[in-house]
Structure 1
Amino acid sequence: MKLMKLHFLLAFILPLAALAQTKATITIQNNSIVNRKESVVAIKWKTVLSSFPQIDTANFVVINSITKKQIPFQLEHHGQTAIQNLLVQIDIKAKSSLHLFIQKGKPELFTAKTYCRYVPERKDDFAWENDKIAFRTYGKALEKTEGDAYGYDVWVKRTSKLVLNDRYKRDDYHIDHGDGLDYYHVGFTLGAGNMAPFVKDTIRYSGNYHHWKILDNGPLRSTFQLSYDTWNAGGIKVKAVKIISLDAGSQLSRIENIYTFDDNNPMPVVVGIIRREKQGIIGLNEQQGIMSYWEPASEKDGTTAVGSILSTPANKMWVDKEQLLAKTSVRNNEPIVYYSGAAWDKADQITNSKQWQDYLDHFNQELQNPLIISVNELSKIQK
């Protein structure tokens, strides 16, 4: 009789144990008052492994518990051999939670929504894009030649398709062939949200980037690293490394700068946005660290909006003859993170200055109210 009971208990317990090893649940909570749409969320891979140690990285899927459908995901390495994060793209309403299942299965082929690459055929450009917008910055081969520029460039687009390779191949990206173009002028300014030291009340521009490294390249997040040679920033020798990432669905890039210099004191830096001669709509919110610019409309090319959000206190914001500037400070060899990006009214998603300001305010609220994420064995959830 006892033997029969033991067999019965084993028959009941073993399937549950197997279930816990082949399926886990991600719980995502949004405790803020803002809805999130197309948000890319990072779940630490170590947390996934603790609940699903037998996971096969080539044969698993992420399922929305309500729709029962697969959702896009990415294994983020951030330049390392080991996986760092599981990235998923979700919609989640304010004051709500979402459950996702991780389980064995064959993942669907999802369209890549982000991309970056080094462009040697165009004098060392480095370009990056997502399903909303595109950007580029300039390398050593362009330095001190006609067309050289210091800041970030914007390539506007009105398609969710990735366009960088086609535009470079066509070598005709200053004309709109139906999906957008490059009509943004940078010149010797910080362009669309680059950062530089601000020493003795003067912007101390670096040379163009010298070395590059891709850390991840889609489908949901592309991240790369740019290194700059030492330059004289008003009597201070400075080196810089910039790590830039762009998520699917976002108008803004995350930019992490690490400045190395021989000084124990903080070094002032500025983020800048080039301004145009004609009247545009400018927003400077020092308290929230948000700088926005709705450019004057081009007769044929529409309107570009540019904005930046600081994660460190803004000491001052102002407008000079050439650009909008936001001043903060950084310490030697300590990362400083901010966000910069753009939008185009012809994409028909953000079509006026209020919508652009609302977008930046909403983005900032998301930064201030991160989602709460937990991963559990399914059997624990069922209890």
Structure 2
Amino acid sequence: MKIIKTFFTLALILPLTLMAQSKATVTIQNNSALNRKETLIAIKWATVLSSYPQIDTANFVVVNPNTKKQIPFQLEHKGKAAIQNLLVQVDIKAKSSIILSIQKGKPEVFAAKIYARYVPERLDDFAWENDKIAFRAYGKALEKTEGDAYGYDVWVKRTNKLVLNDRYKRNDYHIDHGDGLDYYHVGYTLGAGNMAPYVNDTIRYSGNYHHWKVLDNGPLRSTFQLLYDSWNAGSIKVTAVKTISLDAGSQLNRIETVYTFNDTKPMPVVVGIIRREKAGVIGLNEQQGIMSYWEPTFEKDGTTAVGTILSTPAEKMWVNKEQLLTRTSVRNNEPIVYYSGAAWDKAGQITNSKQWQDYLDHFNQEIQNPLIVSVK
């Protein structure tokens, strides 16, 4: 009798165990008063495996049980062989939650919304874009040439398609062929939100990046590293590694910089935005660490907006003849994270300075109020 009872108990438990291994349920909770749109969520892969240990990485889907529709996803590696996170892009209203199911199935083919690459055919550019905006950084081959520049460049877009390769292939990206162009001037400034040491009240620009490494490349997030050889920042010898991530749907990059220098004291640094000769709309919010610039309109090319958000306290913000600047401090070999990016009025989504400031404020509030993710 005891044997029969034990067998009956196991018969009940085993199907439940197998069922638990056939999927994972993800709950995403938004406790803030912010509506979140096109938000990229990182779900730790270890938590997915703990609920769904038999998952086949080539044969699973992420589904919204209410709509029965698949959700685009990406397996994020962060440059490592093992998967680090499952990335999903969702909309979620304020004070609400959504549930997603990770289960066996054939994933749909979703168009990539993000792309980054080294561009050897254009003097070592490194360029990256998403479905909103595009950027580039300048490499070794451009150093000490007539076209050299220190900061980040912006390529404006009015299409959700990826355009970098086409623009480089045409070699005519300073003219708008219907999807946008490059009319942003950087010169010997920090351009659209680059960072540099600020020693003895002077910006100590590095050379251009000399090495690069792609850690992830879409379809929802691209992450790469730019490595800078050592240079003299006043009396301090410095090297830098900048890890840049851009998410689909975002106007802003996440930039994590690690400066290495031989000093136990913090080193002052500045984030900068190039200023134009004609009047624009400038916003300096030291308390929130937000710096914004709605540039003057460039005739037929439209208006570019640029902004930065610090995750460390802003010690000072000011404007000189060339740039908007925010000063903060870093320690040797400790990462500092900030956000920088841009928008274009001709894209039709952010068309005036108030909308740009509202976007930056909302983005900053999202950073301060992360979503809560649970997996079971």
CA-to-aligned-CA distance 1:55-101 (integer Å, 9 cap, x gap): 11111111112211110000000000011110000001111111110
Letter in 2 for 1:67: T
Letter in 2 for 1:100: L
Measure, in 1, the Cα distance between the counterparts of 2:286 and 2:199: 20
CA-to-aligned-CA distance 1:209-267 (integer Å, 9 cap, x gap): 00000000000000000100100001100000000000000000000000000110000
- The aligned residue for residue 140 of structure 1 is 140
Letter in 2 for 1:136: R
The alignment status of 1:316 with 2:316, answered yes or no, reads yes
The alignment status of 1:208 with 2:208, answered yes or no, reads yes
- The aligned residue for residue 18 of structure 1 is 18
Letter in 2 for 1:271: V
The alignment status of 1:107 with 2:107, answered yes or no, reads yes
Letter in 2 for 1:179: D
Letter in 2 for 1:79: G
1:300 is paired with a residue whose SS is helix
- The aligned residue for residue 222 of structure 1 is 222
2:21 is paired with a residue whose SS is helix
Matches within 5 A, 1:207-356: 207-356=207-356
Q: CA deviation at 1:5?
A: 5.7
The alignment status of 1:184 with 2:184, answered yes or no, reads yes
Letter in 2 for 1:316: K
CA-to-aligned-CA distance 1:98-127 (integer Å, 9 cap, x gap): 111010111110110010000000000000
Measure, in 2, the Cα distance between the counterparts of 1:313 and 1:88: 30
Matches within 5 A, 1:66-215: 66-215=66-215
- The aligned residue for residue 359 of structure 1 is 359
Q: CA deviation at 1:4?
A: 6.4
Which residues of structure 2 form unaligned runs of 5+? none
The alignment status of 1:33 with 2:33, answered yes or no, reads yes
Aligned length: 376
Measure, in 2, the Cα distance between the counterparts of 1:174 and 1:44: 41
Q: CA deviation at 1:13?
A: 3.1
Identity of counterpart residues, as a percentage? Answer: 83
Measure, in 1, the Cα distance between the counterparts of 2:17 and 2:208: 56
CA-to-aligned-CA distance 1:152-182 (integer Å, 9 cap, x gap): 0000000000000000001000000000000
- The aligned residue for residue 379 of structure 1 is none
Q: CA deviation at 1:9?
A: 4.4
Q: CA deviation at 1:17?
A: 1.4
1:224 is paired with a residue whose SS is strand
Q: CA deviation at 1:3?
A: 6.6
Letter in 2 for 1:313: P
Measure, in 2, the Cα distance between the counterparts of 1:346 and 1:67: 33
1:272 is paired with a residue whose SS is strand
**Which range moves more in the overlay, 335-344 or 62-71?**
62-71
CA-to-aligned-CA distance 1:14-43 (integer Å, 9 cap, x gap): 322111001110111111110100000101
Letter in 1 for 2:52: F
Measure, in 2, the Cα distance between the counterparts of 1:59 and 1:329: 46
Measure, in 1, the Cα distance between the counterparts of 2:92 and 2:232: 47
Measure, in 2, the Cα distance between the counterparts of 1:62 and 1:347: 30
Q: CA deviation at 1:6?
A: 5.5
Letter in 2 for 1:217: N
Letter in 1 for 2:334: E
Measure, in 1, the Cα distance between the counterparts of 2:100 and 2:284: 39
Root-mean-square deviation over aligned CA pairs: 1.1
Measure, in 2, the Cα distance between the counterparts of 1:23 and 1:44: 15
Letter in 1 for 2:323: Q
Which residues of structure 1 form unaligned runs of 5+? 377-383
2:81 is paired with a residue whose SS is coil
Letter in 1 for 2:239: K
Measure, in 1, the Cα distance between the counterparts of 2:66 and 2:284: 42
Letter in 1 for 2:65: S
Measure, in 2, the Cα distance between the counterparts of 1:265 and 1:9: 65
1:121 is paired with a residue whose SS is helix
Measure, in 2, the Cα distance between the counterparts of 1:180 and 1:278: 22
- The aligned residue for residue 60 of structure 1 is 60
Measure, in 1, the Cα distance between the counterparts of 2:129 and 2:373: 27
1:166 is paired with a residue whose SS is helix
CA-to-aligned-CA distance 1:304-326 (integer Å, 9 cap, x gap): 00000000000000000000000
Measure, in 2, the Cα distance between the counterparts of 1:158 and 1:78: 29
Measure, in 1, the Cα distance between the counterparts of 2:9 and 2:201: 76
Letter in 1 for 2:219: P
Measure, in 1, the Cα distance between the counterparts of 2:166 and 2:308: 28
Measure, in 2, the Cα distance between the counterparts of 1:162 and 1:279: 32
2:144 is paired with a residue whose SS is coil
